[in-house]
Amino acid sequence: MQNEKVETTEIYQNDYLRFYYDHHLNSVVLEYGSESEFLTDEAFKEAMQAYATWVEAHHPTRLLLDNRQMKYIISPEVQAWVVENISPRTHSVTRVAVVVSPDLFAEISTEQGLDDVQKARSLQTRSFQTIEAAARWLVEE
């Protein structure tokens, strides 16, 4: 199975990040690109809207945040916007694995945003150093 091709469904992509569904993990994946430091708040919101629309239609329960290349800092205002506009639309997602960013400020902004969502609804989250460990945790129940 070493050469097994992972089947994915594209959800959204711009120059800085990509959302897709990984059929093997039964999980939505958010993967930041190496240029994510140039991501604007408006482009981030557009991506989140596309993610929320897809979640509403397909009802996935898992999300993998691959923040290994994340350099975008989610401001408190954008965090509040996510809680108000995205979280209510993505309530089917109950389990989130985060592969941490080496950028301290980007990682802190991610943690703060997830904490805010957890205050609004039930969400199980855990952070990992590797994508393999995050994937293992996501699929165990």
Burial track 103-141 (b if 16+ CB lie within 10 A, e otherwise): beebbebbeebbebbeeeeebebebbeeeeebbebbeee
120, pLDDT greater than 70: no
141, pLDDT greater than 80: no
Residue 14 is assigned to a structural domain of this protein: yes
Residue 54 is assigned to a structural domain of this protein: yes
Cα separation, 72 vs 79, whole angstroms: 12
Residue 3 is assigned to a structural domain of this protein: no
90, pLDDT greater than 60: yes
13: tokens are 């992509």
Residue 2 is assigned to a structural domain of this protein: no
The sign of the torsion formed by the CA atoms of 136, 44, 81, 108 equals positive
137, pLDDT greater than 50: yes
Residue 105 is assigned to a structural domain of this protein: yes
Q: Are 18 and 12 in contact (CB under 8 A)?
A: yes
Residue 59 is assigned to a structural domain of this protein: yes
Q: Please state the domain count of the chain.
A: 1
Residue 90 is assigned to a structural domain of this protein: yes
Q: Are 62 and 25 in contact (CB under 8 A)?
A: yes
CATH of residue 90's domain is: 3.30.750.24
The size of the chain, in residues, is 141
Model pTM score:
0.85
Burial track 31-69 (b if 16+ CB lie within 10 A, e otherwise): bbbeebeebeeeebeebbeebbebbeeeebebbbbbbbb
101, pLDDT greater than 90: no
Domain that holds residue 82: 8-139
pLDDT in tens, 2-58: 445 679 999 999 999 999 999 999 999 999 999 999 999 999 999 999 999 999 999
Residue 1 is assigned to a structural domain of this protein: no
The pLDDT of residue 108: 74
